Amino acid sequence: METKVPFLRPSLGEGEINEVLDTLRSGWLTSGPKVRRFEVEFAEAVGAKHAVALNSCTAALHLAVEALGLKPGDGVLVPTMTFAATAEVVRYMGAVPILVDCDPVTANMDLTDAGKKLAGLREGTLPPPIPLDTRVVGIIVVHVGGLMMNVGGVRDFAASHGLWVVEDAAHAFPAAWRPSPSKPWERCGEGTSAITCYSFYANKTITTGEGGMAVTDDAKLADRMRLMSLHGLSHDAWGRYSGKGAWDYRIMAPGFKYNLTDIAAAIGIHQLAKAESMRSEREAIAGRYFEAFAGTEELELPPRDPDRVHSWHLFPIRLCLERLGVGRNEFVEALKAAGVGCSVHWRPLHLHQYYEETYCWGAEDFPAATALWERLVSLPIFPGMTDAEVMHVVAAVKNICIEYSCAREAVAA
């Protein structure tokens, strides 16, 4: 069957289109005034002092660990339940990602397991490819699907082990957390983590096609990331060619080519302006899924928390496999056959060939992630999703649950 409900559909309006046209007509295509405006407005939106616009979240994460001085052979705690980028930037620096299991309910990093992995390093019980003398210097956490971790807990953990914190907030804009109802909200990106990195990839909560942002309160870290984002040059092209600076740049360090274009920033400025209304739309769709699936025993629904403003980038249901006569892969195929686009977030890193072969991690080292990923299916959730589309997804999921329910098989027998 053709796809009736896509997994995602970007929400782009006349504002984005006209701003892109304005950029094309302006004659300035690469990083320039629109990027600067996007940075200033994004920093304000998350409550950070500095924002550096980049061409991906991967670039932001790479520049973050570079700016923090990550050295070859150093160790960084990284969740196994994440996308490739979170760990590969550690490898870019020749450092060692020390994978950590997830919380079985939220899928976010389990800090108790992070402590165990550090103890395992001291006691020599981690897999042999991880050298015993690895100096662990930092922790990168991911707010999976847009449900923020208890960032206070992360910071306490990091402080007690002398680690810097980078937040991979690819999914978490806009999002917020508070320790309890009597405490004030803290936006994702506000506060004391060293650097927070966002993604504006096509499927993210706001998009620039491809794009990312790194935010920090530390001017030195921001300056270093900005320098390294453009070949380590002493000043950028906008400075060189706009009449605001000299032509004679200096190479200060062997940097990268990670700058965002004004064409992309033109889209971002308008996406940013409607970020909260798009978040509310996703929240309303999540609410409809919660209502519709409330009595469906074959499913567990993603966690909600009154102390979190959830970005609802993802709506990952968990299949109760003991109640279903099929596995997750068959469930996904059945959804596709019913015209529903869906995805899985994620096969954990320790179950990917590179991490298995390089570090010899086994499934038993991450019991929660190993068990959880077999049950995960992310349903469509995007602004502009119509009532008919939501109802189609609900009906398809419920029909598959009824068709494959073990309870039904038992009655038939």
Give the residue with the Cβ less far from ligand PLP, 260 or 394.
260
Find the shortest distance in angstroms from Cβ 268 to ligand PLP.
12
Find the shortest distance in angstroms from Cβ 341 to ligand PLP.
16
- Strand 164-168 vs strand 195-199: parallel, antiparallel, or unpaired? parallel
Return the amino acid letter for 379. Answer: L
Give me the phi and psi of 55, to 5 degrees please. Answer: -90, 0
Return the amino acid letter for 315. Answer: F
Among 315, 329, 323, 332, residue whose Cα is nearest residue 297: 323
What tokens were used for 244?
């605001």
Find the shortest distance in angstroms from Cβ 283 to ligand PLP.
20
The secondary structure of the chain in percent helix, strand, coil, rounded to multiples of 5, reads: 45, 15, 40
DSSP E strand stretches across 262-371: 299-300, 308-309, 315-319
Give the residue with the Cβ less far from ligand PLP, 101 or 168.
168
Find the shortest distance in angstroms from Cβ 75 to ligand PLP.
19
Placement of tokens 């100096």 in the chain: 135
116 a catalytic residue:
no
Three-state DSSP class for residue 85: helix
Give the residue with the Cβ less far from ligand PLP, 208 or 296.
208
CA–CA distance, 382 with 287 (Å, rounded to integer): 13
Could you say which of 34, 183, 204, 257 is catalytic? 204
Find the shortest distance in angstroms from Cβ 6 to ligand PLP.
17
**Under the rule (CB under 6 A), what is the footprint of ligand PLP?**
56-58, 82-83, 85-86, 142, 168, 170-171, 199, 201, 212
- Cβ burial, residue 45 (10 Å; 0-12/13-18/19+): buried
Give the residue with the Cβ less far from ligand PLP, 62 or 392.
62
Give the residue with the Cβ less far from ligand PLP, 142 or 396.
142
Catalytic residues: 204
